[in-house]
């Protein structure tokens, strides 16, 4: 993508992703033509989704499905329901999936999908109708050998079950491998719901071992106490860390002596938020990010740490459980400050790794135990971290640049071997 085209893009995540790719490509000496090919999405589908609301009125929603690159295998990526979703954001997220799958060396390309809606304003019946109609609209490009969706922001196993059922109805038989993140009863994998948070902690363990950080003495702050963030916080607590702060979309809480995460989770289940938890001091999202702590886990939305606040960050290790929480400009600042950032395409890859395991199990109709899933996940995350860490040391670059270099090399090799059909 040219500078002129990129300057016309308004999405910060897309701009940041393109910049990170260009930095790695420059370091590698990647052919400019190949760089252009690897930056452009292969296919962008925009669909209109008409549904009948519960009150009988007709409403129209917009949906997207983007396939970024499929040189290494079928496209893979989640579907999010969010009122602020845009095509540019989905393009960026699909590209991140390409690099994420490549850096952990699983045979997928990258994809992403979204419906522009606020699911909190829809009933369960409306969400089902919306999901099923969206599935019908994108069914021409998804499939177990073409493009395999998964849960993302505001979607869950139930949404995946609706997608699987709708797709299967068209073929006349069950196709469990068309999605991952399904309920266990429909062919989902044990360990899938915890995979992103668990995989993130595996990379934190490796980073701590290499930097001499004693996890039993470490303090942790987690921005975004949803699925990935709460799981990561819980596993870090199990390792002996003191989780001093967590937050969600409504606010944050701080207890320097350590939060009781079981009580915090019970409070959030009861009230819908961690804000207001009685045994803690309230704080904002911005205040949480700048806390003095050993480990910071951004597990919310993208673009949370920017050039404006990067100088305030005091963590020693940052593990990106969210996609794109740090802007490209901020990334340089953090690297110069000596903060070790485990990039999103590595830190949060546990979800897609276990999605791959689920897909394999679905195709084979042979299912693994939870221990098998977790052991395979640990092996994949640890070996991938070591590859990235060792390359960063040899090349004297950040972990992010090293991760992108590995990912770009693998995708470029697949493209080159397949050839350019003209």
Helix or strand (DSSP H, E) at 65: strand 58-69
Name the percent of the chain lying above pLDDT 70: 98
Mean pLDDT of 101-110: 98
- Residue 8: the pLDDT is 42
What tokens were used for 352?
A: 């897609």
Q: What is the pLDDT of residues 235-261, one digit of tens each?
A: 999 999 999 999 998 999 999 999 999
Q: Does residue 3 surpass a pLDDT of 70?
A: no
Helix or strand (DSSP H, E) at 164: helix 157-171
Q: What is the pLDDT of residues 180-226, one digit of tens each?
A: 999 999 999 999 999 999 999 999 999 999 999 999 999 999 999 98
Mean pLDDT of 288-306: 94
pLDDT band at 6 (very low <50, low <70, confident <90, very high): very low
Q: What is the pLDDT of residues 389-404, one digit of tens each?
A: 999 999 999 999 999 9
Mark residue 159 as left, alpha or beta (left: phi above 0; alpha: psi -120 to 50; beta: remaining). alpha
Contact 279, 236 (CB under 8 A): no
- Residue 11: the pLDDT is 86
Q: What angle do CA 35, 40, 44 make, to 5 degrees?
A: 165
Q: Report the alpha-carbon distance of residue 292 to residue 313 in Å, rounded.
A: 8
Question: Of these residues, 76, 100, 112, 182, which one is catalytic?
Answer: 112
Closest among 132, 125, 121 to 160, alpha carbons compared: 132
pLDDT band at 7 (very low <50, low <70, confident <90, very high): very low
Q: Does residue 4 surpass a pLDDT of 50?
A: no
Contact 182, 164 (CB under 8 A): yes
- Residue 385: the pLDDT is 98
Q: Strands 75-81 and 147-151, how do they pair?
A: parallel
- Residue 301: the pLDDT is 81
Q: Which domains are seen in the chain, by residue range?
A: 41-175 (3.40.50.10860), 195-347 (3.40.50.720)
- Residue 2: the pLDDT is 43
First and final CA of the chain: distance in angstroms? Answer: 20
Tell me what the pLDDT averaged over the chain comes to.
Answer: 95
Backbone angles phi, psi at 51, to 5 degrees: -140, 155
Q: What beta strand segments (E) does 293-365 contain?
A: 295-298, 317-319, 340-342
Closest among 80, 76, 92 to 18, alpha carbons compared: 92
Q: Report the alpha-carbon distance of residue 71 to residue 79 in Å, rounded.
A: 21
Q: What is the pLDDT of residues 256-278, one digit of tens each?
A: 999 999 999 999 999 999 999 99
Closest among 68, 74, 226 to 155, alpha carbons compared: 226
Q: Does residue 5 surpass a pLDDT of 50?
A: no
User: Within 191-298, where are the H helices?
Assistant: 195-211, 227-238, 261-271, 285-289
112 is catalytic: yes
Contact 329, 307 (CB under 8 A): yes
pLDDT band at 1 (very low <50, low <70, confident <90, very high): very low
What tokens were used for 171?
A: 């073929």
* Cβ burial, residue 68 (10 Å; 0-12/13-18/19+): buried
């Amino acid at each position: 993508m040219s500078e002129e085209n990129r300057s016309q893009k308004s999405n910060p995540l897309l701009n940041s992703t393109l910049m990170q790719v260009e930095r790695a490509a420059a370091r590698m000496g990647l052919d400019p033509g190949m760089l252009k090919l690897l930056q452009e999405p292969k296919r962008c589908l925009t669909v209109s989704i008409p549904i009948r609301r519960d009150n009988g009125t007709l409403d129209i929603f917009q949906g997207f499905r983007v396939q970024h690159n499929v040189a290494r295998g079928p496209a893979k990526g989640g579907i999010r329901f969010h009122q602020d979703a845009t095509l540019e954001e989905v393009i960026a997220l699909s590209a991140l999936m390409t690099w994420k799958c490549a850096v952990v060396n699983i045979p997928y390309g990258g994809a992403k999908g979204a419906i522009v809606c606020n699911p909190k304003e829809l009933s369960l019946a409306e969400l089902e109708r919306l999901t099923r109609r969206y599935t019908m609209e994108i069914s021409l490009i998804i499939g177990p050998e073409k493009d395999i969706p998964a849960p993302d922001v505001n979607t869950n196993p139930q949404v995946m079950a609706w997608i699987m059922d709708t797709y299967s109805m068209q073929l006349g038989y069950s196709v469990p491998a068309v999605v991952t993140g399904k309920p266990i009863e429909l062919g989902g994998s044990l360990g899938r719901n915890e995979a992103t948070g668990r995989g993130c902690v595996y990379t934190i363990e490796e980073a701590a071992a290499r930097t001499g950080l004693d996890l039993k003495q470490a303090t942790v702050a987690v921005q975004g106490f949803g699925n990935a963030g709460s799981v990561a916080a819980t596993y870090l607590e199990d390792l002996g860390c003191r989780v001093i702060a967590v937050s969600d979309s409504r606010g944050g809480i701080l207890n320097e002596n350590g939060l009781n995460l079981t009580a915090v989770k019970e409070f959030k289940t009861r009230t819908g938020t961690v804000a207001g938890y009685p045994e803690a001091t309230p704080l904002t999202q911005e205040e949480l990010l700048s806390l003095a702590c050993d480990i910071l886990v951004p597990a919310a939305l993208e673009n949370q740490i920017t050039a404006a606040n990067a100088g305030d960050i005091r963590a020693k290790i940052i593990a990106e459980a969210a996609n794109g929480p740090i802007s490209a400009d901020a990334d340089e600042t953090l690297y110069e400050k000596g903060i070790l950032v485990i990039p999103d395409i590595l830190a949060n890859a546990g979800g897609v790794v276990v999605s791959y395991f689920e897909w394999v199990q679905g195709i084979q109709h042979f299912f693994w135990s939870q221990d098998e899933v977790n052991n395979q996940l640990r092996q994949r995350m640890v070996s991938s971290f070591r590859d990235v860490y060792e390359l960063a040391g040899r090349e004297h670059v950040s972990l992010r640049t090293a991760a992108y270099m590995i990912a770009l090399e693998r995708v470029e090799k697949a493209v080159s071997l397949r050839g350019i059909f003209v």
